[in-house]
Structure 1
Amino acid sequence: MTGGPVPAGPGAGRVVVVGDVVTDVVAVLAAAPATGSDTPARIRFTGGGQAANTAAWLAAQRVPVTLVGAVGGDDAGRARVAELTGLGVDCAVTRHPDAPTGTVIVLAAAGERTMVTERGANLRLSAADVDAALAGTPDARHLHLSAYTLLDAASRGAGLRALAAAHERGLTTSVDAASAAPLRRVGAAAFLSWVRDVDLLLANADEAAVLAGGVEAVAQARALTPMARRVVVKRGAAGAVWADRAGTLVEVPARRVDVVDVTGAGDAFAAGLLAAWVGGAAPVAALERAGELGAVAVATVGARPAG
C-alpha cells in the first residue's frame, strides 16, 4: 500500500467522536522483551487515544469531525490539542488543571502490541461536556463512541449520555468495543446493555470473543446483531466481516502490507468505515475503505496519519 488516505468526498457529514486523548510512548521492539534486562527498540512520543486517533483519521479524509474529550492542564495536554487541531480536528476538549493528560506505553513486536495505560484526565469526561459539545455542533450527522469511556466507571456517565443524546438528536451512532481485558472485567451482558441498538458496533476478534463467544467471526457478527443493528468484526490480516439485521453478510480480505506498527490500525479502520458508511457507501465499499486506511496505519510508526 502506498500513498495517503483517499478523501471521503462531500457525502460524509460531521462526525462527533467521544473518548480518550492520550500521549502514546510507542516502543517498536527488535525482539520479544527480555524480562529483567534490555531490549533494543525504536521509541517515539506521539499523540494517541482511540477516539483522538479515529478523529484524526477522519479529518485526514476531509470529513468534518469534532472530538469530545478531556486533557490535563499540562504541556502534554496542550500539545495533544495542538496536534489534533493541526490535523483538522475541531476539539471540544476540556482541560483539568488538577489531573495529568492520559499516557499509554505501547510495546509493539511481532505484529502485536501490549499497552500500559494511565487514563488520567480522560476519567473526568462528563455528561455535561458531551451535551455542550453537541449543542455546539448543529451540523452533526453521526456520533462515534470509544468504549473506553464506558468501560471505566468514572467516565461511564459521559459515554451513556453520548449515546442517549445522539438518539435524542436523531444522529446515527457507532461504538468501538475498545479492548478485550476491560470488557471481561465489566462483563458482556452489562456492556451490551449499554450499547443496545446502536447503529454500528465494531469489535476485533478478541473483543468479539468476549461479547459473543466462539472464535469464528461470521458467527460472532451474526450473534451480536440482536444487540446492534450492524456489526463489524475486525480480523487483522484476515480481513473483516459485516453482518446486519437485514441479513446482509459481507467478508472482505485485508490488504497485504509490510507491518511496521499495529498501534492505531483499528482506529484508522474505524475512520475509514465511518467516512464511507456515513457518506452512504454500501457495506463492501465501506469495508474496503476501512481496510485501505488500516493498511496505511500499520505501515507507519504511531497511531496517527502523517500531518
Structure 2
Amino acid sequence: MSRASRVVIVGDVITDVVAVLSGPLATGSDTPAEIRFGGGGQAANTAAWIAAQGVAVTLVGAVGDDAAGRDRVAELSDGGVDCAVDRVGGAATGTVVVLAADGERTMVTERGANLRLTAAHVERALAEAPDAGHLHLSAYTLLDAGSRGAGLRALAAARERGLTTSVDAASAAPLRRVGAAAFLAWVRDVDLLLVNADEATVLAGGLDPAAQARVLSATARRVVVKRGAAGAVWVDRTATVSVAPARRVAVVDVTGAGDAFAAGLLTAWLGGAEPQAALARAGDLGALAVATVGARPTR
C-alpha cells in the first residue's frame, strides 16, 4: 500500500461522557471527578488519530438523526475525517459513560444507532472510496448481533476489492459472550489482528503474550498483543516476533489509548515500516493519548 492510499474504518461512533475520578468510587454517595463530554467510539477515535497524522481516512458508521449525531460528525469532519456516516431515524446516537481511575477505565454503554449499521451502507461507502488501500474494522460491529452483517460484509467486500484488512478485537466481555471460536471464524485470514491482554486471554487462553500471538496467528496473518504499560508484542506467520516497551508517561486517562495505538501502528505499517518501527510509532501515539483527558487527539 502506498502512503497516498486511503484507509477506510468501519465501526462505532459514540458520545463519551468521561469522568476522571479523584479517588475510589463511593458507591451510593458522591465522588468528585473531572467530567468531559466529547466524541468517542473505537472506530471514530482511530479515524481521528489517523487523520491527525495526515493520512486520508474515511469513517463508515451510523448515528442517530439527533443533535449528538450531528455534533459527532461535525467534529470528525473538522478533524480531517471523511465521514460516510448514516443518520438513522428513530435511533439515538450511541453513548458511553467512562469512569476512569487508577490507570483503568470502566465503560457503561448504550450502543444506540451503531446497532443499525447495515451491509448495504458499508457496500456503498466502499464503492465511493476507489482510492482505498486498507480496511480497518472495529470488532464491536461484529460483536453486536444487529450490526454483525455489516462487519462481515465489510471484510468480504474489502477482500473482493483487493484491500488489506485489520480488526481490533474491541472488548473482552462481549468477546467472551460470543465465544472465541465464532469470533475467530469471522476474522479468519485478516492481515492484522489487534488484541489487548484481556482479549488475548479470551481468544487464546492464559499463555504468555508471545505464545498467545502465535496461537492467534493461525487465524490472522499478523497479530499484535497490546499490553499497556508492559509494551506490545508482534507475531506473524513467518514466526517473526517483535517486542516493544511502552513509553513511561504520567497517566491521566487511558480512554482511547488503544485506538491511538492502532492508528499509529496502521499508518506506520501501511507506510512500509518494519514491525519494530510500527510498534514504536504505535507506542508514541498511545503515550500521547493517556497523557490527556478524552479519546481524541488535541488540536
Normalised by the length of structure 2, the TM-score is 0.99
Give the root-mean-square deviation of aligned CA atoms.
0.7
What are the superposed Cα offsets for residues 241-272 of structure 1, whole Å, 9 maximum, x if unpaired? 00000111000000010000000000000000
Could you list the runs of 5+ residues in structure 1 that have no partner in the other structure? 1-9
Partner AA of 2:236 in structure 1: D
The Cα shift of 1:11 comes to 2.1
Partner AA of 1:192 in structure 2: L
Residues in 2 aligned to 1:285 and 1:90: alpha-carbon distance in whole angstroms: 27
Match of 2:107 among 115, 119, 129: 115
Partner AA of 1:68 in structure 2: V
Q: Which residue of 2 is the match for residue 263 of structure 1?
A: 255
Residues in 2 aligned to 1:224 and 1:185: alpha-carbon distance in whole angstroms: 19
What are the superposed Cα offsets for residues 6-33 of structure 1, whole Å, 9 maximum, x if unpaired? xxxx725210000000000000001111
Task: Tell me if structure 2 keeps the 8 A contact 1:15–1:143.
Answer: yes
Residues in 1 aligned to 2:28 and 2:249: alpha-carbon distance in whole angstroms: 33
Q: Which residue of 2 is the match for residue 32 of structure 1?
A: 24
Secondary structure of the structure 1 residue equivalent to 2:26: coil
Secondary structure of the structure 1 residue equivalent to 2:63: strand
Residues in 2 aligned to 1:13 and 1:245: alpha-carbon distance in whole angstroms: 25
Q: Which residue of 1 is the match for residue 11 of structure 2?
A: 19
Residues in 1 aligned to 2:206 and 2:269: alpha-carbon distance in whole angstroms: 28
Task: Tell me if structure 2 keeps the 8 A contact 1:66–1:92.
Answer: yes
Aligned-pair identity in percent equals 79
1:149 correspondence with 2:141: yes
Q: Which residue of 1 is the match for residue 82 of structure 2?
A: 90
Partner AA of 2:20 in structure 1: V
Residues in 1 aligned to 2:156 and 2:288: alpha-carbon distance in whole angstroms: 33
What are the superposed Cα offsets for residues 186-210 of structure 1, whole Å, 9 maximum, x if unpaired? 0000000000000000000000000
Residues in 1 aligned to 2:207 and 2:261: alpha-carbon distance in whole angstroms: 21
Equivalences for residues 63-142 of structure 1 within 5 A = 63-142=55-134
Task: Tell me if structure 2 keeps the 8 A contact 1:205–1:215.
Answer: no
Q: Which residue of 1 is the match for residue 282 of structure 2?
A: 290
Residues in 1 aligned to 2:179 and 2:222: alpha-carbon distance in whole angstroms: 21
Q: Which residue of 1 is the match for residue 227 of structure 2?
A: 235
Equivalences for residues 144-223 of structure 1 within 5 A = 144-223=136-215
Residues in 1 aligned to 2:57 and 2:232: alpha-carbon distance in whole angstroms: 25
Secondary structure of the structure 1 residue equivalent to 2:146: helix
Residues in 1 aligned to 2:60 and 2:150: alpha-carbon distance in whole angstroms: 10
1:277 correspondence with 2:269: yes
Shift of the 289–12 alpha-carbon distance from structure 1 to 2, 3 Å rule, reads: farther
Q: How many residues align?
A: 298
Normalised by the length of structure 1, the TM-score is 0.96
Could you list the runs of 5+ residues in structure 2 that have no partner in the other structure? none
Task: Tell me if structure 2 keeps the 8 A contact 1:18–1:51.
Answer: yes
Q: Which residue of 2 is the match for residue 3 of structure 1?
A: none
Residues in 1 aligned to 2:223 and 2:34: alpha-carbon distance in whole angstroms: 36
The Cα shift of 1:215 comes to 4.2
Shift of the 227–206 alpha-carbon distance from structure 1 to 2, 3 Å rule, reads: same
